[in-house]
Amino acid sequence: MKVGATEVLNSERDILDEKEYLLFEYQGNNLYFNELNLEELLKQHKTPLFVFSQKILQLQFERIYKAFTSLNSQSLKIAFSVKSNPLTEVAQTFMEKNAYFEVTSIGEVKHINALGGDPSKIIFTNIVKNVSTIEYCVDQGIGLFAIDSWSDMKRIEGVCEALEVSVNILLRVNPGIQLEDTLFSCAGRNSKIGILTPENLTMDSQFKDIFDYCVKSKWLNFQGLHAHLGSQIVNLDQYREGMRKISILITQIEEIGLKVNTLDIGGGFPIYYGEKNVPRIESFSEVIKEVFAGQLSSLDLILESGRYLTAPAGILAFEISVIKERESNLNIACVNGSFYNTIPDVIIADWQFPIKKVKYNLEVPLIKYQIVGSSNDTLDYYKGKDELDGLVLLGKIEEKEYIVFLQAGAYSISFNSTYCMEERPSVYFIHN
Ligand SMILES: Cc1ncc(COP(=O)(O)O)c(C=O)c1O
């Protein structure tokens, strides 16, 4: 990327035209989000502040649905991965869209129950499920359990036997392909996730033992396979390779006379964090169509999405508290909150959240800033991954000005902490 002022100034605006930046625009010098003038909004609220758009949540849900409905699977179920965002309004929005819910704890089950959710639309996927969790979920009539290991299966079966209730299960399989460009890959042969698919794709393996046991069990109703390969998956070739192994496994199961009714392909659909060539959701549906051709028409297809559904719908606004100039022209802009308390993925994942000034000034030259969090912790700064080595090019920033992190709606509110006994940010939700 060139850093000539005009070029970048243009791109700063242009980037808002990307499809991922739904409902953002500069009107004059002011940044609008979902038709709200952000500066006006922020002046009335305490920052740091998350602002969420219900309209974008709905649009993202519709985009996934549209991309996958053309596959003509026997049925299509879009599950919202609750861990990505714990806001009541978010789950409520998806419930109104007839969503399913992928959950990993009793807390998440209760969250959906409290909204009047249908327990049969809940898929419990955590790799470890303790007895009290299983008892609670069985009692609630949870729709599906993804079984992750031999011990997981025995523990679930034990509870079912004691309660004399049978449950529907998916076997969570790991195709054993490490997704190289994916920070959160679940699919390597040494990953802690899932039951490894047979290496040589024969049925004489650990998979076969678990499979044989579960199909014979009086308490476990085998429905099919679950395969979540990772989060923010950007390598479609490896994704295709992983899914191909799952497709072969389905064929092998059916060759021994058993029916796979359900295929849950998990989530991992990526959004734009400044990287080039992030595959679009339609590219994923094309891979699934190609790989499972001939199988889809008899499969209930489930998707579990978190990041794709929620990230674009949320922004995080900060006020600039301090500007410091260092030697070698390094300008430091310190925001009024730590990233631990607000958006820890800045530190954990180095995601390059696009950053915008709320007040855009065309006249001023661009300056490289290091954006840092307010805590004493030296890791509390924005690293990014682009050619600027984590520095951010913005027009001159004054103290008390606002900046916003875009694509901030996933895994931020769920991960942030009260480090240093600081408060978490509040949330402003724009209802549609
Ligand atoms: C089993 C399972 N399904 C779905 C998801 C959602 O992933 P993403 O937010 O990348 O769509 C996760 C996230 O870790 C997961 O573990």
Q: Is the CB of 409 under 6 A from ligand 1?
A: no
Q: In this predicted structure, what is the pLDDT of residue 14?
A: 44
Per-residue pLDDT tens for 253-297? 999 889 999 999 999 999 988 777 789 999 999 999 999 999 999
340 with 419: CB under 8 angstroms? yes
Q: Is the CB of 182 under 6 A from ligand 1?
A: no
Q: In this predicted structure, what is the pLDDT of residue 204?
A: 56
Q: In this predicted structure, what is the pLDDT of residue 64?
A: 97
**Local structure of 216: helix, strand or coil:** helix
Q: Is the CB of 84 under 6 A from ligand 1?
A: yes
Q: Is the CB of 304 under 6 A from ligand 1?
A: yes
Ligand 1 atom nearest residue 146's Cα:
1
Q: Name the residue ranges covered by the structural domains of the chain.
A: 5-53+312-430, 86-305
Q: In this predicted structure, what is the pLDDT of residue 191?
A: 84
Domain 5-53+312-430 in this protein, CATH class: mainly beta
86-305: which CATH architecture?
Alpha-Beta Barrel (3.20)
Both structure tokens of 121:
């639309």
Ligand 1 probe mutation, 101, 193, 304, most atoms within 8 A of CB:
304
374 with 335: CB under 8 angstroms? yes
SS (H, E, C) the chain: CCCCHHHHHHHHHHHHHCCCCCCEEEECCEEEECCEEHHHHHHCCCCCEEEEEHHHHHHHHHHHHHHHHCCCCCEEEEEEEHHHCCCHHHHHHHHHCCCEEEECCHHHHHHHHHCCCCHHHEEECCCCCCHHHHHHHHHHCCCEEEECCHHHHHHHHHHHHHHCCCEEEEEEEECCCCCCCCCEECCCCCCCCCEECCCCCCCCCHHHHHHHHHHHCCCEEEEEEECCCEECCCCHHHHHHHHHHHHHHHHHHHHCCCCCCEEECCCCCCCCCCCCCCCCHHHHHHHHHHHCCCCHHHCEEEEEECHHHHHHHEEEEEEEEEEEECHHHCEEEEECCCHHHHCCHHHHCCCCCCEEECECCCCCCEEEEEEECCCCCCCCECCCCCCCCCCEEEECCCCCCEEEECCCCCCCCCCCCCHHHCCCCEEEEECC
Q: In this predicted structure, what is the pLDDT of residue 189?
A: 79
Q: In this predicted structure, what is the pLDDT of residue 203?
A: 56
23 with 293: CB under 8 angstroms? no
Distance 228 CA to ligand 1 centre (A): 7
Q: Is the CB of 310 under 6 A from ligand 1?
A: no
Ligand 1 atom nearest residue 172's Cα:
1
CA distance 186 to 207: 17
Residue nearest to atom 14 of ligand 1 (CA): 231
Q: Is the CB of 228 under 6 A from ligand 1?
A: yes
Residue nearest to atom 13 of ligand 1 (CA): 231
- Which residues of the chain register pLDDT less than 70? 1-21, 199-204, 363, 386-387
Ligand 1 atom nearest residue 305's Cα:
11
Residue nearest to atom 5 of ligand 1 (CA): 267
Distance 229 CA to ligand 1 centre (A): 9
Ligand 1 probe mutation, 125, 231, 307, most atoms within 8 A of CB:
231
Q: Is the CB of 172 under 6 A from ligand 1?
A: no
Q: Against a cut of 0.75, is the pTM above it?
A: yes
